[in-house]
Amino acid sequence: MRILQNTMNESPSLLDVSELVRPEQKLQGQEAFRDYSEENPLQQRVKKTYYEMHSNQTVDFVKSKHAKWLGFNHVECTIMEALDKLNDLVDESDPDLDLPNIVHAFQTAERIRADYPEDDWFQLVGLIHDLGKIMAFYDEPQWAVVGDTFPTGCMPQASIVYGMDSFGTNKDLKDPRYNTKLGMYSENCGLDNVLMSWGHDEYLYQVVKNHTKKVGTSIPEGGLYAIRFHSFYPWHTGGDYEYLINDHDKKMKEWVLRFQKYDLYTKSASIPDVEALKPYYQTLIDKYLPGLVAF
Ligand code: FE
Ligand code: FE
């Protein structure tokens, strides 16, 4: 591992509010980890994260994060090292949810592998999809790393969790360039032209694109979409923002939806033997993302 910038936070606490099984989305035969009832202390924490996210994620904020992170000058490490690093992320909020991140990675990958034995790249996507969370080691606040994402630069849509109320002090809502339905976009401009709120999805997508370009490999587009938009619930599950979507996005949405159901934590899923699985996944890493990856 080549450290380019020292971490500021050795074991950040992080709860990905996007990955809790939603009550409205309970998968058949699986028990939700948590319900979202108001009296639940976890619910209070989830609410606080989203209020901070929605107040602070502006066009300028996202651009500043692109400038900070898309130089890929924080750390260079192998994918396995990054997975091990991610394991130091702890969630102190809830004894029910102390599933280590590396277990979540392998669990997601293994569940995909069971259903898609031929699509090794899709399994790899399951393994790596949350690696962007290493931003938490560099003092990025929870609300700029995890949680549902949304397009900045246009009016927030109805299905966003906690609604307009949670955008209270967001300065873009007073900016005529951004506070209309389309805001700074044109009709059906495509998600590639949309400035999404900053989080681990977009970051890892850019890391992967940068690395595959460097080493001359490629991951199928559906996998890249799954990485980039798995937290964009207002679109893939809420049905909003269709006016930003182009035909290509529409096709790729199938992969995002396919992926998303493997990402949710469930109580019933078995805990994979991470050490025993590492050799198999190392072959996928060697095939698609070999060597030192720049984060
Ligand atoms: Fe995620
Ligand atoms: Fe995840």
CA of 176 to the centre of ligand 2 (A): 35
CA of 199 to the centre of ligand 1 (A): 9
- Please give the Cα distance from 36 to 20 (Å, whole number): 9
CA of 175 to the centre of ligand 1 (A): 30
Q: From the CA of 204, which ligand is nearest? A: 1
Say if 159 falls within a structural domain.
Answer: yes
Taking Cα atoms as reference points, which of 288, 294, 276, 236 lies closest to residue 106?
A: 276
Say if 145 falls within a structural domain.
Answer: yes
Say if 14 falls within a structural domain.
Answer: no
- Check residue 175 and give its pLDDT: 98
Q: Which residue has the higher pLDDT, 22 or 109?
A: 109
Q: What is the mean pLDDT of the chain?
A: 89
Work out the end-to-end distance of the chain between its first and last CA atoms, rounded to an integer number of angstroms: 11
Say if 12 falls within a structural domain.
Answer: no
- Check residue 176 and give its pLDDT: 98
CA of 86 to the centre of ligand 2 (A): 12
Q: From the CA of 230, which ligand is nearest? A: 1
CA of 238 to the centre of ligand 1 (A): 17
Domains: count for the chain:
1
When pLDDT is averaged across residues 76-85 and rounded to a whole number, the result is 96
CA of 228 to the centre of ligand 1 (A): 9
Say if 281 falls within a structural domain.
Answer: yes
Q: Domain containing 248: what range?
A: 31-294
Residue-wise pLDDT for 31-73, tens only, equals 454 455 666 777 788 889 999 999 999 999 999 999 999 999 9
Say if 4 falls within a structural domain.
Answer: no
Q: Are 130 and 104 in contact (CB under 8 A)?
A: yes
pTM for the predicted model, two decimal places: 0.92
3-state secondary structure of 136: helix
Say if 215 falls within a structural domain.
Answer: yes
CA of 201 to the centre of ligand 1 (A): 7
Say if 9 falls within a structural domain.
Answer: no
Look at 15-29, 169-183, 194-208, 239-253 and tell me which has the smallest mean pLDDT.
15-29
- Check residue 26 and give its pLDDT: 47
- Check residue 105 and give its pLDDT: 92
When pLDDT is averaged across residues 230-255 and rounded to a whole number, the result is 97
Q: Are 91 and 136 in contact (CB under 8 A)?
A: no
Assigned token pair, 43? 């619910």
